[in-house]
Each structure stands twice: as structure tokens, then as C-alpha cells.
Structure 1
């Protein structure tokens, strides 16, 4: 939709009656403003034309050789949802007009009862209404996305995570496929905030979220679970696969010092892993199991991965000591 005061408004007229095409062309020439008219005599020809060329608005007859009634609106909308459509017919039927609007047409013109002035106004208003509708739809989608995302880190928020988890849980139960949950907590994060301020703390969380995201597989999901905790949903992953994934991320994080003006901060995290099994009967049970494993990892020294089972909590994978100790942060001067 590129028609402006400096460029012609491009119209596609879908009409197989040569007399009506001539009348429409004459009426358009009487309208003030600049218009570029293109004509197709069937809907199929129009759809092919639209694949190759751009236009600002489509005006279509309701009765065409390859379609009748309002079917054309649906077919155009399906493939070109951004285009405004004005339907034309010789039938003076208000119900049909309302049906056309309900299907997505911007307006409805009665052949033989339209003046050049009305035609110009209809074209202009139809284009403007469609622009407003498209912008409103874009804003709605933007708001929907914002409602699902954590504003600081750009990953899913807790509410959206639970919704994703329910979806993956249902699929795993139906297909009898594995599903795992990993919860991680940035070690001694409070000391980062206390020592360097919340601005640096926020940047650390953003860095952690970005690093985890680079390790995600297709279909997996990551969310900020709360504070400095993140939750990862691993689809088609049993406990062994999830523990290996978690330990790989743990190592990457420990090997990626965070640069600050004073030097570098070595950031580590503790990981709890749980998988869908007979003892985890709901999403809540699975998240709770991963959370219990996380507590075990922190209790056993941090910077490690712990698995959960119904009988015991055990450590799995290579583990190291937390690079942020209880007494002071490890600060390395910038070289």
C-alpha cells in the first residue's frame, strides 16, 4: 500500500465485463488525483498478478468466471492479508454488503450507483482503514509478545513458561516421549548486586540468559523463573541428556568471565535436573523436583549439576567449586 500524494495509487480491478471496465476507467479519470489501473478478468489471473506486482487496493466484481459471491474476498485475504478490498456488484443487497465487510472487505460499491467522488472517497478510506487495521494488529501482537517475555532478559516470563510447559507435557504424555526440566540459579548473585550495584547485576542476568539461549535446541524453551533463577524445558530429553546439557552450560558459563570496569567477575551457576517419570505426575511435580535438585547442588558446594529421583538426590556430571566464594567476589584486573 504505497499510494501517496507524490505517487499514483495503484489499483487492481478484477472484472470480466468489458463495458464495466470501460465505465470504471472513465469514472476513475474524472477523479482528482493520480491513479494507475491494472485489470484482470478472473480471480486466478488476479492472484497470479499479485504474486508479481504491487498494488494499493483491489476492487473486485462479485461475479467472475472462476468464482461467485464473496469467496474471492477469502482467497485474496488468505494470500495477501495486507491488501484492502472493495467489492462491487449490481445487487443492491445490504445483507450481502455486511457479509462482505465481515469477511474482511473494506467497502462495498453498487455498480451504476457510484459517482467519481464516491469512488475516490471509497478508495481513499479503504486504504486508510486497512492501514489502521494492520497497525492495530501489529500492536496487538507486540503486546501479546511483551506479555510473555521477561522485560530484562528477553526470555519467557514465569507465566508464559508454565503455559509452554503444559503444552509440552501434554505432547510428551500423548507420544510417550521424554521431557526434562532444568532450573539454574546464579551463584552468590546477591553479592554481585551488593558489591557492584543492580545495573551490573542486571547485565549479568542478561549475559546468563543470552549464553543459555545459545545452547538451546530446537523446541526447547527458557524462562526467567524469578530473581536470578532460570528454568529450561528440554523436549525429547531424558535425565542423562538433560544432565549433560546442564553441565555443558555450566562449564560454558564458568569459562566466560564477565567484564566490568573494575576487572572481570567469574560467574557460576548451580543446576537442578529432573525428568518426567512415574513420580512426577504433573508439571508442578516436575518443576518442584528440579528445584529440590537445585537445592542439593547448592548445598553440595554450588557450580555443579544435581539430578533428582524419588529415592535420593544425587550429583551427576563433572563439578567444580564455585568461583564466587562466600567471603569475597573473585575480581581479576583487566589486562
Structure 2
């Protein structure tokens, strides 16, 4: 039988109370090049497993079958790093295979030991360990760039917040390629991957041995800079940003420049959980994108802007100076009171409008025709005998163009109607509908803010095939 390569000898841990058996198996396995460790007590075995993970562990269940299963269960249920293939050695009469598998046993070896079978089981166990090891390493390596994966990056972040490293300054930098989705959509997945790989190469050179670099998936990279505060890290990121901006890719249609946005956040004291640190740096990256990309943004850099926006968006403030003129839809068509009803209804049907303003001889607002209501009133009558005046309704109210926006919202919130006409000096100039104003109140912080006295906002609901609005009570906390 072939011997394992001595340079990469598989490690085997023998666990059992039969010390003579441990010595005998050790001599045999050493002959075939295995690196063997022996432990007679399960408690010592658990300590050894916590320090290092052998590829295969053979547990002798001959003298105390129940104790051996409890030990296997404890090992398989622990959170230790790495994988160990567990082989249970027991007599056929002692073996409950289902219970052993539930306890975490991977394979079985009958007693008395048949040495050819033992070697075959070990080779199988080593192959299983190698498969698990490859899978584990692949999870820790990004397949596109070959850099450490996001899992490795987050682990390094956690380590920098604990132990002796917890008191040392450090900063996180997360960057993302600008417009990578558009690049991929225009030139294909291959070009998108090449762009990510090219930036990964630039980052490798910039990070060297002092900065931990990882690929976070997609077009994003993470850098952990030990010993730097956020200002120093931002200066470092600015140099890297300029280096990336100098790079270009050759494409069939010419050369394409690359750029990246950077978010930077330093470690705080007290440090807090790692997720909070990552969220701060990702928020800074979002701000960089919102600033047009190809820039570096530090955590908290726009605190004054945030404060100013919070004051602007306070209850009742955001639309404080907004009037009906600012939110209306301009009025392009009006009908005269003396016009015939038939052409008017044909015009309404052609344009698809729900409401059309009606004016008198001086052009002043005299009411409106609501399409559905007019059709009901025309039912059973000859349209040519009717005038627009006979179909006009005053149920559609009018508001002056200087009417405050909040007053319009209050009108619709009270159920005053679904539409209104906006007038200037008594003449119709536009329309507003409950549906159009509802679009401005869908964000919860705005919806609560614009109607502080009513404590309600508009929610769109579906009744048959018509969109209507209903006020819904909210708790404002005031």
C-alpha cells in the first residue's frame, strides 16, 4: 500500500482508554507515514482539539460506548475552527449506527481492527478533510480577485476591536467602482470582471504588507488600516483614488477611464460592535456616491448638512412656503358654459381627463364637469339638447393659487373631494388631485410632518378599479 507524502503527512488523533491499543495503532500508522497523536482521556482530547484540528480522529468506543458517543457529540457541536473527520471504532454488537451519526460520527471501523480496512478508512477520511478544507479556503478567498473574502475582512474588524488591539487606533475604508453596472451592461460581464480585477491589482500595490485588503463582493473592496485615524486614512484613500483615476481599460470602442468612491470611518472609543463600525463606513460610501462619485468621504463629514436638513424636514417646515401654484397641474383646456354638451363630452373622452373646468363669458371659473357624473346625467337624454351649463357642477371646489399647500392637504384629509381647481383672479389655471398630493406624503417622516394637527397622512388604497385616498390615523409621539 502507498504511504502518504512525508512532507504533507496527514494528522491522526487516537482517542481511547485502551493504552495498549493506542501504542499498537500508533506504530502501525507511523509506518505508513501518518503523523499520530494519542490521548487516553477525552478531556485532554478536547483541549488538544481546541489548539489544533487533526485531519482524522479515531475514537475507540470499545470499553465505554456511551462515553465515546458523548465525546463525539461534544466535538461535532463545538464552535472550534476547522474540520476533523471522526471515525468511531466499535464492535458490531455495540454499534447503534443511527445514534452514532446523530452524534457527529462520519465513519465506522469494526473491532477487531483489519489493517487494510483501517488504511482505506483513513484515506477516505483524509479526502473528506481535503474537500472541506478547499471549501473553507474558497469561502475565505474571493474567486474573481484572489483576495481575502468579506468573511475574512469582518473577522479582522472584530479582532481589531478586541484584546490588546482594541485600544489601538484603526480605520476602515470601503470603496466601490463608479458606474460598474453601466459598464457591465454596455460591455458585458467579462469587461466588468476585468475592471474589478484591475482595481484589485492597484489596491494590492497600494496596501502592501501594512494594510489588510479584502474583496467584499461585486465591485466593493475593504481596507483595514491599523494605527491610523480617520483623517490619516482619508488622506491614504485620496492617494489611492487618484491612482485609480489614472487607470484606463482598452475596449473595442476606445479606452475607458475608471474611478471609485471611498467611505472612511475611524474606530471610536468606546469601540462598540463591529457591525456598527461597518455601517458607519458604508454610510460614508453612500454619501460619496450621492456626491457624484470619484471622491473620498469621512464618517460624519456632512454632520452640519444633516442637521440643517433635519431642521428643514421638521413637522410643518418642509412645505411651509409651498403654495397651490407650486403643486398644481397647469390647466390647458376649459369649456364655455354655452357650448354644446356633445362636443364637450367627445373632448373629455378623447383626452381622458376626469375633470374639466367650465368658465363664464368673462373667463371666470363657473364650475367643472366631472366625466363620470356627466355621463350619468346624460343617460337616456339626447346629448345635442344639452349645454355645458346643464352638466356643470359646483361640487369641485376652487382655491386661489396662493393657497398654502398645507391647507390643500387638510381639505383632502377631511374628505372634501378628490380634485380641486386652482384659480388666479377667479380664472382657472390648474388642477390638483388628492392622488397627486399623496405622492408628496408617502415618506413617513414627511407625512407626519405636513399634517401635525390632524396626526394623519394619505395612503393610497384600491377600491374596484379607481385609486382613492383615505386618511389613516398615525401616532406622532407628540
Q: TM-score, length-normalised on structure 1?
A: 0.55
In the TM superposition, what are the counterparts of 1:1-335 in structure 2 within 5 Å? 2-3=2-3, 55-56=32-33, 94-95=62-63, 122-158=114-150, 161-171=153-163, 175-216=166-207, 217-218=209-210, 220-224=212-216, 227-278=218-269, 281-309=272-300, 312=303
Structure 2 partner of 1:319: none
Could you say which structure has the greater relative contact order, defined with CA pairs below 8 angstroms and 6 or more residues apart? Answer: 1
Rounded to whole Å, the distance in 1 between the matches of 2:222 and 2:65 is 52
2:446 is matched with which residue?
A: none
CA spacing shift, 1:133–1:251, aligned 2, 3 Å: same
Cα 1:313/1:141, change in 2 over 3 Å: farther
State the shift of 1:242 in Å: 1.5
Q: How many residues align?
A: 248
| Aligned-pair CA distance for 1:288 | 3.1
Q: Does structure 2 retain, via aligned residues, the 8 Å contact 1:234–1:242? A: yes
Residue 306 of structure 1 contacts residue 313 of structure 1 at CA under 8 Å; is this kept in 2?
Answer: no
Shift of 1:98: 10
Give secondary structure in 2 for the equivalent of 1:181.
strand
User: Quick one: distance in 2 between partners of 1:70 and 1:235?
Assistant: 42
Q: Deviation per CA, 1:219-254: give whole Å up to 9, x if none.
A: 7242325x4232322233222332233223223322
Unaligned runs of at least 5 residues, structure 2: 5-22, 73-85, 91-109, 306-478
Note if contact 2:150-2:216 (Cα within 8 Å) is conserved in structure 1.
yes
2:56 and 2:126 in contact (8 A); partners too? no
Larger radius of gyration: 2
1:186 Cα offset (Å): 0.8
* Aligned-partner Cα distance in 2 for 1:215–1:128: 49
CA deviations on 1:58-110 (whole Å, 9 max, x unpaired) are 999xxxxxx99789xx8xx99996799999xxxxx9328999998989979xx
Tell me if the contact between 1:224 and 1:230 (Cα under 8 Å) persists in the aligned partners.
Answer: yes
TM-score in terms of structure 2 length? 0.41
Gaps of 5+ in 1: 5-39, 61-66, 88-92, 109-117, 315-335
Q: Which segment is superposed worse, 176-185 or 246-255? A: 246-255
Secondary structure (helix, strand or coil) at the match of 1:184 reads strand
How far apart are residue 296 of structure 1 and its match?
A: 3.9
Secondary structure of residue in 1 paired with 2:161: helix
Question: Which secondary structure state, in structure 2, belongs to the residue aligned with residue 94 of structure 1?
Answer: coil
1:68 and 1:307 mapped to 2: Cα distance?
54
Matched-pair contact (CA < 8 Å) for 1:182–1:271? yes
Aligned to 1:20: none
Give distance in 2, aligned partners of 1:55 and 1:136: 19
How much is the aligned-residue C-alpha RMSD, in angstroms? Answer: 4.8
Deviation at residue 193 of structure 1 after TM alignment: 1.5
Q: Confirm or deny: 8 A CA contact 2:150 2:214 kept in the other structure.
A: no
Q: Residues 142-193 of structure 1: CA distance to partner in whole angstroms, max 9, x if unpaired?
A: 2223334444444455455434423322347x64111211121212222311
Query: Separation in 2 of the partners of 1:159 and 1:208?
Result: 20
